[in-house]
Chains A and B, each alone.
Chain A
């Protein structure tokens, strides 16, 4: 930052307003970005962060207002024009072609060709170079269709694609939401490198610790309005939260100790093609955490218990009774609920309204002889929207128009009522703002108080540690460790999750 050119403003947005049907997403927002800085953008779910970024990268056009790049007024009609100018974006929602492999995705739109034939060899070499430059040790199968890869691996591919454009401005909309600590570290090292090169970076995250660690300045949005911009060193977390949500949070992890009751779920010797001899139990009033690296098999385990994937052997007991759960429907009937990871692929139907999403998994409760009781359905939907504070113009709004965090709340909300006794939450707070996270934790408290049991899978370690009574560590399809007690540390969890097998 001592060099003069570093201070130069590369992007300036003046009085940007963006209206959607029924919503003013941005209201007269000014924003500027300097060369060689990492600029944090924070705010509640639905505050307008993604909308602002989409205006920069040409995916949306402002209703009013002007954008200047290197002092020149610009207007991008589409993302292509922004990319050509030198703006690379990693979108909040997965933006990747599922049946293409990693290489094809990274070079999408900039394939190396000879007479229109793609030069695969060269692309592979280039991809490996890129991975090496970046310092990624993660072993991604470059020729695997990306739909078979995990969420974090896919995110990394998206980041690589944006980097590969060698952009002047790099936009990262919640890039860390599905990454584990190790990968976040790699990403941050990378960002620091870019910063040195003079690239301007905008970084959005609901993990405020990350924002404090990596950014130079922070801009806060609330309700589509800019609250302010400040150098990172001049604010603390409490200030920042107050700026974001206009109130204080007493405790970030309001964990309550509940007396532990009888076993609700026992899993004995469960194996699938990937999972190997899994044994664990969940008792009434208990929150059981699952930690592990990407690809350690946590999600597979949860989906198998939930009846969505076939098991090869092993037994499952509910309330001491052996059960065969062959389908999701049976799981639900038995009071076993799963809030899956990856809301857009597994959690919600984007073309469905808020209401239709919220009631989908419990539709029987709103039906008389196959006929839907719409009044009852709407009442319930309104109730949940209020309870979870879902920001939406109405319950009839299509889910695709909601902000990322509000989609996550929908995905959570559809399992937040009914006769659930055992709740599996797979990354339940991914993309959810600080204030709403606390609401979700409180909701979990309420569940365990009512004698439910919770399985929590989360790559957010502070959250996992603070909320879990016991943490199982998974590695390569097996449970390798159990941690319990008051003083579990992040280091302990990481150490056992990452320990290399050397047999």
Chain B
């Protein structure tokens, strides 16, 4: 009992907890010196705009992973949702209906994922792997594999490349989504239950938690956010690209894993995930400014993802 008040806060603990944050700061400083044009107001805003979509997808992905489910369909689903919006809107349908249809697509796919996973009982990895292919297939079939280059109304491109005041629209959306996800996961009963389910499903269920319901909910939120990101993406591109969005999956997972190494080591958590997103985004942005071509960048990002998992597993003894 005497031990209670003795709080040994050693340096090593702090380092362990914030190593990934330090790594990000180092990365930031590194690019500031190495890549002229990196540390300018213009580029910082640009960087934030670039990561806005990834952050939105990753918020959803974080929720799923906390609950113990995978969602591999996010990337291709974002693409599909964008295509749905663009093709409807370019065929003369009002923008808001196009956008609602795109979000509806996300919700629908999320529900299908959720039903197959929670009611039929198929592992999420398998269901969403299949769904990823289905989404991509629908996009390509619909567009015959060709990009849609018809003029999009400003009411649509506003969501991707517009501004409110000096700040691009997607940054506002990002901030709102992050804020809501943070509240959901950290301040509400729903969030606590989602963590409980990921921690131990049997215990959660014996504590009176409707495990299936919350997993379902997580999967639907995740798909809806992916669809939202898809809308922003196509609004930014100003065209319908049937293969776009695919990179959200790898970069999103990498961000979540990076996030598991920090703030609350061993657990997926939204602040950690944001550090992860910043690392992935800053790498793309910085490497591009430094003149590194796209393909070698992939090597770097893949390596970072693997290192993140290694670090997460090694530091917190988690199993993925």
Contact = CB atoms under 8 A, between A and B. Distances in A.
A244 to B, nearest CB: 14
A370 B203 CA distance: 21
A363 B10 contact: no
8 contacts: A24-B6, A308-B205, A308-B206, A346-B203, A349-B203, A352-B199, A364-B189, A367-B188
B62 to A, nearest CB: 16
A361 B208 CA distance: 6
10 pairs of A and B residues whose beta carbons are closest in the complex: A349-B199, A361-B207, A329-B208, A332-B208, A328-B208, A351-B199, A370-B188, A360-B207, A23-B3, A349-B200
Contacts of A346: 202-203, 206
Contacts of B7: 22, 393-394
* Main secondary structure on B side of the interface with A: helix
A495 to B, nearest CB: 33
A431 interface: no
Interface stretch (B89-97, B101-109, B190-198): B190-198
Interface in A320-354: 327-329, 331-332, 338, 340, 345-352
A372 interface: yes
Nearest to B202: A346
Given A328-B206, A346-B203, A356-B196, 6 more contacts: A352-B199, A367-B188, A370-B190, A371-B188, A372-B189, A394-B4
B283 to A, nearest CB: 30
A94 to B, nearest CB: 13
Nearest to A307: B208
A262 B2 CA distance: 46
A485 interface: no
A372 B204 CA distance: 17
B1 A223 contact: yes
Nearest to B200: A349
A348 B203 contact: yes
Nearest to A332: B208
A182 interface: no
A155 interface: no
Interface of A: 19, 21-24, 223-224, 306, 308, 327-329, 331-332, 338, 340, 345-352, 356, 360-361, 363-364, 367, 370-372, 391-394, 414
B10 to A, nearest CB: 7
B207 A23 contact: no
Nearest to A343: B203
A393 B3 contact: yes
B203 A23 contact: no
Nearest to B318: A351
A21 B8 contact: yes
Contacts of B190: 370
B267 interface: yes
Nearest to A306: B206
Interface of B: 1-4, 6-10, 13, 187-190, 192-193, 195-196, 199-200, 202-210, 266-267
Contacts of A351: 199, 266-267
Contacts of B199: 349-352
Nearest to B9: A21
A328 B210 CA distance: 9
* Among B2, B9, B205, B206: residue with most chain A CB under 10 A: B206
A306 B207 CA distance: 11
Contacts of A329: 208-210
A345 B187 contact: no
B60 to A, nearest CB: 19
A440 B205 CA distance: 25
Contacts of A306: 206
Nearest to A415: B207
* Among B9, B13, B200, B205: residue with most chain A CB under 10 A: B200
Contacts of A360: 192, 196, 203-204, 207, 209
Contacts of A350: 199-200
A352 B192 CA distance: 10
A356 B206 contact: no
* Among B8, B208, B266: residue with most chain A CB under 10 A: B208
B192 A356 contact: yes
A308 B10 CA distance: 44
Contacts of A24: 3, 6
Contacts of B203: 345-349, 360
Nearest to A329: B208
Contacts of A391: 1
Contacts of A363: 189, 192-193
Contact of B202 (A332, A345, A392): A345
B8 A22 contact: yes
Contact of A372 (B10, B192, B210): B192
Given A361-B208, A367-B189, A352 B6 contact: no
Contacts of A392: 4
Contacts of A340: 206
Contacts of B9: 21
Contacts of A367: 188-189
A372 B189 CA distance: 6
A160 B200 CA distance: 28
A81 to B, nearest CB: 19
B3 A414 contact: no
Nearest to A394: B4
B312 to A, nearest CB: 14
B187 A372 contact: yes
Given A21-B8, A22-B8, A370-B188, A338 B206 contact: yes
Contacts of A414: 207
A348 B207 CA distance: 9
A301 to B, nearest CB: 15
A331 B202 CA distance: 16
Given A327-B210, A350-B199, A372 B188 contact: yes
A372 B194 CA distance: 14
A121 B219 CA distance: 45
Contacts of A19: 8
A351 B200 CA distance: 9
B207 A21 contact: no
Contact of B6 (A22, A345, A361): A22
Contacts of B2: 223
Nearest to B191: A372
B196 A352 contact: yes
A267 B98 CA distance: 57
Contacts of B13: 21
Nearest to A392: B4
Contacts of A345: 200, 202-203
A403 to B, nearest CB: 12
Nearest to B13: A21
A345 B205 CA distance: 11
Contacts of A21: 8-10, 13
A20 to B, nearest CB: 8
A371 B196 contact: no
A370 B189 contact: yes
Contacts of A348: 200, 203
B270 to A, nearest CB: 16
Nearest to B198: A351
Contact of A371 (B10, B187, B205, B266): B187
